Amino acid sequence: MEAIKKQHELVVSVSPHLKSEETTSRIMWTVSLSLLPAFISGAYFFGPRAVITTAICIITALLSERAFQKITNREDTISDGSAFLTGLLLGMNLPATVPFYIPIIGTVVAIVITKQLFGGLGYNIFNPALIGRAFVLITWPRAMTTWMKPDAAFMRFDAISAATPLGILKEEGLAKLLALFGDKLNLYTELLVGHRAGSIGETSVIALLLGAAFLVYKRYISLHIPLSFIGTVAVIAWLFGGKEGLFTGDPLIHIMSGGLMLGAFFMATDYVTCPSVKKGQIVFGIGCGLITMLIRLKGGYPEGVMFAILLMNCFTPLIDRNLRSKVFGFMKKEAK
Amino acid sequence: MSNEDRISNWQLIKNGIFKENTIFRLVISLCPSIAVTNSVKNGFLLGVAVLFVQTMVNTTVAIFRKFIHPKIRIPIFMLIISGWVTVVDMVMAAYARAAYKEIGLYIQIIVAFASILARAEMFASKNRVCNAFFDGLGSGLGFLLALVLISFFRELLGRGSLWGFHIVQAKPMLIFILPAGGFLAVGLLMAFFNWIDMRFYGGKGAGGASGH
Amino acid sequence: MTAKDIFKITANLVVIYVVGGLLLAFVYAKTSPIIFLKNKQEKEEALQKMMPNADKKGIIKLGDWYPHDKDAEYFVAKKDGKIIGYIVQTFAKGYSSYINILFSVGTDFRVKKIDILHSAETPGLGDEITLPYFKKRFRGKDLAHLKVVKKPSKEYIEAVTGATISSRAVTEDGVRKGLEFLIKALKKREVKHEQ
């Protein structure tokens, strides 16, 4: 009785107000688990360097979170798994061949500056892993855009550098891309499997979809953001992606290459930094898609998923405020 | 005014450098603190230019303070500021050409710096010439110090050099000489000074009244 | 507002204008000849550096042209009255700025030297086009070989790693277009002379 009474006391808190038994830590660990297939495929294609880079990110994330909380006398929240997930996501967003100081500095920026300085989990404006990646991409552009050729060879430390499909598409065009992969069908299968140059965890579309399906089945993520994000990318790629004019682009290449799958399912859907209303999530997804394609087709970088999500993160409070669901019986009267 | 007279000149200078530091305490004129601070040399040169303009403007305004009609004081302050800025601009173009090539564009923008007009309006128009001179000196020095400090970190991290001389052999962190890194550097330094202030002097951070 | 106020405001403005005007006029009178002289001297030095062999006063302006709607000039360089080459100033659209380029060619229209007068490309990446190692790659290239490639090459211009856009701007939008213009302009002059 006492316990029930306590629950019914008025508590002023930020949204979401309805809470189930799903705790933060359970969600974080499940999301981490769902990234496992993509991580394994990354480790398979890019070898031990990929595993080491990701491990450095995770260890640095845990250490820097603990260190910051110790210095500032805050509660120890390492076990909620959010630092682990940030480290894992950042690691999977880096090329396998980066020098070891890059994951370390990127993770410190992600955890300390992006998350803890803003007040810890739940108060950060931007997705920490993406800010970490943006920081190292701008800081060491050369190392961050030198990709390794996927070789599927275990225990290989030397790497041949190769361009990503989007990089080739931007610099040399579709014909060169097709020449490299044989024919179109072969290109699609290679992209689906993940046998291409890119960041550790972004290449294998199948593995990412597997993890995403698990999350959707568990109802940890809804499909509003991923579908509107990917849909917008597809439409714009079809409309403007082709060299011969309107409606000649190839949406499949744009969907399956770059960091779109990883970004749309695992990073744009981050609870803290995406809108909480469904309508807002669709707006958020469309915005991400628009910015991504703007950067891919017109910008200086071949890939724009990261910047797109970060830019839309800024708009999250605005979207939430303006598309808040209406309370029954109140709005109509005022309108008249 | 008799109250103001008791403040010593040394206190006025200290006040401008620490308690009312243009960038770290008053948080105004942030544009130049990001635009020119990608090398210590540029930061220092612009700081010196601002120091000169600030001191001269304060002195001029204080000299004319009883003569200026309150209704048109702001346009007149602007005229005085732009006059002195033009003088600095022309002198630098003639005698310090290498420096002028680097920061010439920003010299002309000094006209629009909030800090200079703020000091003229807040202090110089109400105080004696001598006090106004030292107030301008103090706040100009504070600005110079802040610019040098910011550019010190940015050049060291972003280029691995100081005043153009190579020091660190490691790969520099490019972001710190780009504008984005300027915001980061200013923010982190400001946070650092606020932390020191709160931790050791019991202050309340930027904007709060901290008596040291 | 009383008549006294109006009078005072007028007096205020007049005094400030007159005093300020006098001060500025004085400084301008002192500095402007120096600025003018130094500008001219610097330009001559820059041109002389492009063509060290040419006589002093041997570099003569041929005319103006307008790449990207900006004012640029081109010159002929002479030694003992004989033409030994040409110098062209041009602008190229880079990644984040218009790059102001000066380059010299011999009478065979092969590039001798290039120099970047002004650019604001990304520090640490694009602005490496101003470094000697990149500028040296232009020596001896003719029209057909002013092309950017992304791998080490002696024949063509190798791009600065990670800064293909800036390298391409300097090479193709800048020097190659400038050279094309120069050849065309010289032909036109010849036709005019013959008539």
Cβ contact C38–B71 (<8 Å): no
User: Do A108 and A66 share a structural domain?
Assistant: yes
What is the spatial distance between Cα A276 and Cα A281, in angstroms, rounded to a whole number? 7
- Partners of residue B174 in chain A, C-beta under 8 Å: 138-141
- Partners of residue C161 in chain A, C-beta under 8 Å: 142
Number of domains in chain A: 2
- Partners of residue C28 in chain B, C-beta under 8 Å: 90
Q: CA C19 → CA A169, B121, B148, distances in Å?
A: 64, 21, 34
Nearest chain C Cα distance for residue B19, angstroms: 33
Q: DSSP string of A239-257?
A: HHS-SSSTT---HHHHHHS
What is the spatial distance between Cα A133 and Cα A57, in angstroms, rounded to a whole number? 11
CA angle C122/C127/C130 to nearest 5° reads 165
Closest residue in chain A to residue B174, using alpha carbons only: A139
A7 falls within a domain = no
What is the spatial distance between Cα C141 and Cα A143, in angstroms, rounded to a whole number? 31
Q: CA C184 → CA A78, A204, B166, distances in Å?
A: 71, 54, 46
Q: Provide mean pLDDT across the span C66-70.
A: 88
Name the residue with higher pLDDT: A208 or B105: A208
Over residues A12-65, the pLDDT tens digits come to 666 555 555 567 888 899 999 999 999 999 988 888 889 999 999 999 999 999
How would you class A165 by CB atoms within 10 Å of its CB: exposed for 0-12, middle for 13-18, buried for 19 or more? buried
Token pair belonging to C192: 């005019």
Nearest chain C Cα distance for residue B6, angstroms: 31
Determine which helix (DSSP H) or strand (DSSP E) holds B46, and give its type and residue range.
helix B40-64
Confidence of residue B143 (pLDDT cuts 50, 70, 90): very high
B25-28 long-range contacts (CB < 8 A, ≥24 apart) are B25/B206, B25/B207, B26/B115, B26/B118, B27/B190, B27/B206, B27/B207, B28/B114, B28/B115, B28/B118
CB contact C24 to B (< 8 Å) = yes
User: Do A179 and A107 share a structural domain?
Assistant: no
- Partners of residue C1 in chain B, C-beta under 8 Å: 71
User: Do A290 and A189 share a structural domain?
Assistant: yes
pLDDT of A136 reads 93
Nearest chain B Cα distance for residue C14, angstroms: 11
- Residue B91: pLDDT over 70: yes
Range in A93-97, A304-308, B194-198 with the lowest mean pLDDT: B194-198
- Partners of residue A137 in chain C, C-beta under 8 Å: none
Cβ contact A171–C162 (<8 Å): no
CB contact A19 to C (< 8 Å) = no
To test the contact with chain B by mutation, choose from A139, A140, A146 the residue with the greatest count of B C-beta atoms within 10 A, namely A139
DSSP state of C171: I
Q: Provide mean pLDDT across the span C56-76.
A: 86
Domain that holds residue A43: 24-144
User: Do A312 and A172 share a structural domain?
Assistant: yes
Which of A116, A144, A172 terminates a domain? The answer is: A144
pLDDT of B3 reads 47
User: Do A172 and A106 share a structural domain?
Assistant: no
* Nearest of A307, A199, A186 to residue A258 by alpha carbon: A199
Q: How many CB atoms lie within 10 A of CB C47?
A: 21
Token pair belonging to A253: 């290449």
Mean pLDDT (chain C) is 86
Number of H helices, E strands in chain A: 18, 2
Those of residues 118-137 in C touching chain A at CB distance below 8 A are 125
CB contact C4 to B (< 8 Å) = no
Nearest to B174 among A113, A117, A138 (CB): A138
Over residues C14-43, the pLDDT tens digits come to 988 898 899 999 999 999 999 999 988 888
User: Do A218 and A123 share a structural domain?
Assistant: no
pLDDT of A133 reads 94
Cβ contact C162–A300 (<8 Å): no
What is the spatial distance between Cα C147 and Cα C167, in angstroms, rounded to a whole number? 10
- Residue A7: pLDDT over 60: no
Q: Chains with 3 or more CB pairs closer than 8 angstroms to B?
A: A, C
A335 falls within a domain = no
A63 falls within a domain = yes
User: Do A192 and A47 share a structural domain?
Assistant: no
Cβ contact A139–B174 (<8 Å): yes
- Partners of residue C162 in chain A, C-beta under 8 Å: 141-142, 145
pLDDT of C125 reads 78
Over residues C138-182, the pLDDT tens digits come to 888 888 888 888 778 888 888 887 788 889 899 989 899 999 999
pLDDT of C141 reads 86
- Residue B193: pLDDT over 50: yes
pLDDT of A58 reads 95
Cβ contact B86–C24 (<8 Å): yes
Nearest to A138 among B171, B178, B191 (CB): B178
Most confident range (mean pLDDT) of A95-104, A140-149, B32-41, C114-123 is A95-104
A289 falls within a domain = yes
Over residues A102-145, the pLDDT tens digits come to 999 999 999 999 999 888 888 899 999 999 999 999 888 888 88
User: Do A76 and A168 share a structural domain?
Assistant: no
Which of A112, A144, A176 terminates a domain? The answer is: A144
Strand order in the sheet with C72-79: C59-65, C72-79, C82-93, C98-106, C111-118
Range in A273-287, A303-317, B190-204 with the lowest mean pLDDT: B190-204
Nearest to A141 among C125, C150, C165 (CB): C125
- Residue A308: pLDDT over 60: yes
Q: Provide mean pLDDT across the span A159-185.
A: 82
Cβ contact B175–A138 (<8 Å): yes
CB contact C164 to A (< 8 Å) = yes
List chain C domain ranges: 1-50, 53-194
Confidence of residue B2 (pLDDT cuts 50, 70, 90): very low
- Residue B51: pLDDT over 90: yes
pLDDT of A335 reads 45
Name the residue with higher pLDDT: A10 or A214: A214
Q: Provide mean pLDDT across the span C57-66.
A: 85
User: Do A307 and A198 share a structural domain?
Assistant: yes
- Residue B200: pLDDT over 70: yes
User: Do A204 and A295 share a structural domain?
Assistant: yes
User: Do A111 and A231 share a structural domain?
Assistant: no
Cβ contact C165–A300 (<8 Å): yes
What is the spatial distance between Cα A225 and Cα A274, in angstroms, rounded to a whole number? 9
Cβ contact C95–A300 (<8 Å): yes
Confidence of residue A152 (pLDDT cuts 50, 70, 90): low
Q: Provide mean pLDDT across the span A258-273.
A: 91
Residue C9, C-beta contacts closer than 8 angstroms, at least 6 positions apart: B69, B71, B72
Assess contact for A95 and A199: CB atoms under 8 A. Answer: yes
User: Do A180 and A45 share a structural domain?
Assistant: no
CB contact B162 to A (< 8 Å) = no
Q: Chains with 3 or more CB pairs closer than 8 angstroms to A?
A: B, C
What is the spatial distance between Cα A101 and Cα C77, in angstroms, rounded to a whole number? 52
Those of residues 61-120 in C touching chain A at CB distance below 8 A are 95
Q: Chains with 3 or more CB pairs closer than 8 angstroms to C?
A: A, B
Q: How many CB atoms lie within 10 A of CB C147?
A: 15
**Could you tell me what percent of chain B has a pLDDT over 90?**
25
Cβ contact C164–A300 (<8 Å): no
Torsion of the alpha carbons at B151, B156, B158 and B159, rounded to the nearest 10: 110
Backbone angles phi, psi at B18, to 5 degrees: -105, -65
Nearest chain C Cα distance for residue A53, angstroms: 23
What is the spatial distance between Cα B15 and Cα B62, in angstroms, rounded to a whole number? 19
